[in-house]
Amino acid sequence: MSRKTVLAFDFLLLCLLTVLCRSSSLHHHHDHRHDTRRYAVSPPKTLFVFGDSYADTGNTPIGYSPRGSSLAAWKVPYGETFPGKPSGRFSDGHVLTDFVANYFGLTSPVPYNFRKVGGSNLKFGINFAIGGTGVFETLVPLPNMTVQIDTFKQLIDGGLYTEADLQSSVALVTLSGNDYNSYLTKNGPFLGLPAYITKAVAQLVVNIKRIHDLGVKKVAVAGLQPLGCLPQITYTAGFQKCNGTINALVLFHNRLLWTAVAALNIHTEDSSAFIPVDLYDAFLLAFKGKSGTMFANPLQPCCIGVNASYSCRDVDSTGLKLYELCPDPSATFFWDQFHPTQQGWKAVSTLLASTFQKL
Ligand X SMILES: *[C@@H]1O[C@H](CO)[C@@H](O)[C@H](O)[C@H]1NC(C)=O
Is 246 a residue that touches ligand X (CB under 6 A)?
A: yes
Pairwise CA distance, residues 279 & 129, whole Å:
17
Is 146 a residue that touches ligand X (CB under 6 A)?
A: yes
Task: Pick the stretch among 47-55, 62-70, 136-144, 329-337 that binds ligand X (CB under 6 A).
Answer: 136-144
Pairwise CA distance, residues 177 & 179, whole Å:
5
Minimum Å gap between C-beta 40 and ligand X is: 39
Element (H, E) at 274: strand 274-277
Is 332 a residue that touches ligand X (CB under 6 A)?
A: no
Element (H, E) at 231: helix 231-234
Is 240 a residue that touches ligand X (CB under 6 A)?
A: no
Task: Pick the stretch among 42-50, 64-72, 100-108, 241-249 that binds ligand X (CB under 6 A).
Answer: 241-249
Cα 234 to chain centroid distance, Å, stands at 22
Is 354 a residue that touches ligand X (CB under 6 A)?
A: no
Is 46 a residue that touches ligand X (CB under 6 A)?
A: no
Element (H, E) at 264: helix 244-266
Torsion of CA 132, 155, 47, 147, to 10 degrees: 20
Is 69 a residue that touches ligand X (CB under 6 A)?
A: no
Cα 80 to chain centroid distance, Å, stands at 20
- Helix, strand, coil in percent for the chain, rounding step 5: 45, 10, 50
Minimum Å gap between C-beta 125 and ligand X is: 22
What is each CA distance from 58 to 91, 112, 221, 276, in whole angstroms?
A: 11, 8, 20, 25
Is 306 a residue that touches ligand X (CB under 6 A)?
A: yes
Which of 223, 222, 250, 246 is CA-nearest to residue 234? 246
Is 203 a residue that touches ligand X (CB under 6 A)?
A: yes
Phi-psi region of 289 (alpha: psi -120 to 50; beta: other; left: phi over 0): left
Is 243 a residue that touches ligand X (CB under 6 A)?
A: yes
Is 309 a residue that touches ligand X (CB under 6 A)?
A: yes
Is 182 a residue that touches ligand X (CB under 6 A)?
A: no
Which of 293, 311, 288 is CA-nearest to residue 301? 311
Return the residue of 14, 40, 147, 164 that touches ligand X, per CB under 6 A.
Answer: 147
Pairwise CA distance, residues 121 & 125, whole Å:
7
Task: Pick the stretch among 20-28, 37-45, 141-149, 270-278 that binds ligand X (CB under 6 A).
Answer: 141-149
CB of 234 or CB of 342, closer to ligand X: 234
- Which residues make beta-bridge pairs with 323? 305
Minimum Å gap between C-beta 293 and ligand X is: 28
Q: Which positions from 9 through 28 interact with ligand X, judged by CB under 6 A?
A: none
Size of the site for ligand X (CB under 6 A): 13
Is 312 a residue that touches ligand X (CB under 6 A)?
A: no
Q: Are 302 and 287 in contact (CB under 8 A)?
A: no
Return the residue of 245, 259, 271, 272 that touches ligand X, per CB under 6 A.
Answer: 245
Active site residues: 53, 336, 339
> Which residue ranges make up the site for ligand X (CB under 6 A)?
135-137, 144, 146-147, 203, 243, 245-246, 306-307, 309
